[in-house]
């Protein structure tokens, strides 16, 4: 990686500046198990760097522990919506209590959790994202598909890990796809399916890292390919220099548009004509051994421990020591 892309040095050297850190993991969302796996890795990494850190499982437990003033800050590695920790509610609680935390604030977390609102913001700024129709419960999916044309992707607007997501190539499969997505709370999204390659890219401190091209063995990157299969290939960096530069620019603009902070991972598709299409931003992306944020950072010379340290720094006041 050329020096032009290198990261500035960390702002802090002394682990004691962080005080006692709660690594908030687990919780009650559909992504609980993934979060526990991520959280254990983060905890190990922070401790290896001398940070005083302990695991806390879920928001209610954290709230009790904060009342007893056990912690100085929160490293949030909860994944998921509806109080799951990634959707702005936790961030609001911590703001109200005056407890610093890693990552995006209330607005950014809430916007990024909602794939429809994310797309609305991106579109308003001319950032490319696939055409879509928002489907209310009981809404007419066939009318949506008349507007978009097949194939489409049907997904819940506020889930993660590909849960409830279907690719639909034939009208006869639409009702089943809607039924699956509707098992999850909130609105549904019918989106134009982009044929091409799938990518993701980490963003740290507002700066994009390297892209990863995801090559699943099956036809797409479903839950199985994300967490269970060992035959998905990850190519990082995924593009040539010009492609990386373009993707980094788009990711940084996508990140800023949603008012994200600290870190995030932006998912996008690249169609056969070489155009990128933003899918979503994840504000507390996975940190498991299969996860992509650490791979994206590694290409910039940042180890897993370095990455955890930088993310923890995002909980410190801006403009502090460098």
Ligand X SMILES: Nc1ncnc2c1ncn2[C@@H]1O[C@H](COP(=O)(O)OP(=O)(O)O)[C@@H](O)[C@H]1O
Binding site for Mg ion (CB under 5 A): 267
The answer to whether residue 159 is catalytic is no
Token code pair at residue 81:
């919506």
Coil/strand/helix, residue 67: helix
Cβ 214 vs Cβ 198: under 8 Å: yes
Q: How far apart are CA 221 and CA 217, in angstroms?
A: 9
Query: Any contact of residue 263 with ligand X (CB under 6 A)?
Result: no
Query: Any contact of residue 280 with ligand X (CB under 6 A)?
Result: yes
Q: 15-54: which residues touch ligand X (CB under 6 A)?
A: none
**Residues 118, 161, 291, 296: which is the catalytic one?**
161
Query: Any contact of residue 165 with ligand X (CB under 6 A)?
Result: yes
Coil/strand/helix, residue 66: helix
ω into 151 cis (within 30 of 0) = yes
The answer to whether residue 161 is catalytic is yes
Write down the least CB distance from residue 8 to ligand X, Å.
30
198 binds, among ligand X, Mg ion, none (CB under 5 to 8 A by kind): ligand X
> Taking CA 199 as the corner, what is the angle to CA 206 and CA 81, rounded to the nearest 5 degrees?
65
Q: Of 142, 67, 73, which Cα lies nearest the Cα of 312? A: 73
| Closer residue to Mg ion (CB): 222 or 306 | 222
| Closer residue to Mg ion (CB): 165 or 308 | 165
- Size of interface with ligand X, in residues (CB under 6 A): 19
Supply the DSSP string of 121-132, one letter for each residue.
HHHHTT-----E
Coil/strand/helix, residue 271: strand
Cβ 27 vs Cβ 80: under 8 Å: yes
**Residues 57, 187, 198, 280: which is the catalytic one?**
280
Of positions 153, 247, 287, 302, contacts ligand X by CB under 6 A: 153
Write down the least CB distance from residue 311 to Mg ion, Å.
19
Query: Any contact of residue 161 with ligand X (CB under 6 A)?
Result: yes
| Closer residue to ligand X (CB): 224 or 303 | 224
| Closer residue to ligand X (CB): 44 or 162 | 162
> Residue 31 is inside which H or E element, if any?
none
**Residues 166, 282, 296, 314: which is the catalytic one?**
282
Residues in the chain: 322
What positions carry a catalytic annotation?
A: 31, 161, 227, 265, 267, 280, 282, 286
Q: Which residues bind ligand X (CB under 6 A)?
A: 130, 153, 155, 159-162, 165, 191-194, 198, 220-221, 267, 269, 279-280
């Amino acid at each position: 990686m050329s020096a032009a892309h290198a990261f500035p040095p960390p702002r802090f050297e002394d682990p004691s500046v962080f005080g006692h850190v709660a690594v908030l993991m687990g919780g009650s969302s559909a992504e609980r198990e993934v979060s526990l796996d991520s959280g254990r890795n983060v905890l190990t990494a922070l401790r290896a760097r001398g940070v005083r850190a302990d695991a806390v499982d879920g928001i209610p437990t954290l709230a009790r522990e904060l009342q007893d003033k056990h912690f100085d800050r929160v490293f949030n590695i909860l994944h998921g919506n509806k109080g799951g920790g990634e959707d702005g509610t936790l961030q609001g609680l911590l703001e109200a209590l005056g407890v610093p935390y890693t990552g995006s604030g209330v607005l950014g977390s809430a916007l990024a959790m909602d794939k429809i609102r994310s797309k609305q913001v991106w579109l308003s700024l001319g950032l490319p994202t696939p055409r879509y129709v928002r489907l209310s419960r009981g809404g007419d999916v066939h009318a949506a598909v008349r507007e978009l044309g097949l194939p489409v992707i049907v997904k819940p607007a506020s889930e993660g890990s590909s849960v409830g997501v279907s690719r639909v190539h034939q009208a006869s499969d639409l009702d089943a796809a809607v039924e699956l997505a509707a098992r999850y709370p909130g609105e549904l999204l019918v989106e134009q399916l982009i044929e091409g390659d799938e990518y993701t890219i980490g963003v740290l401190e507002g700066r994009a890292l390297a892209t990863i091209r995801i090559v699943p063995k099956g036809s797409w990157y479903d839950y199985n390919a994300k967490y269970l299969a060992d035959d998905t290939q990850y190519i990082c960096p995924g593009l040539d220099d010009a492609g990386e530069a373009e993707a980094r620019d788009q990711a940084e603009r996508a990140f800023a548009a949603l008012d994200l902070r600290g870190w995030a991972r932006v998912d996008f598709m690249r169609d056969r004509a070489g155009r990128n299409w933003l899918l979503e931003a994840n504000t507390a992306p996975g940190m498991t051994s299969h996860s992509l944020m650490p791979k994206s950072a590694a290409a910039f010379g940042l180890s897993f421990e370095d990455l955890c340290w930088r993310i923890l720094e995002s909980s410190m006041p801006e403009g502090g020591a460098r």
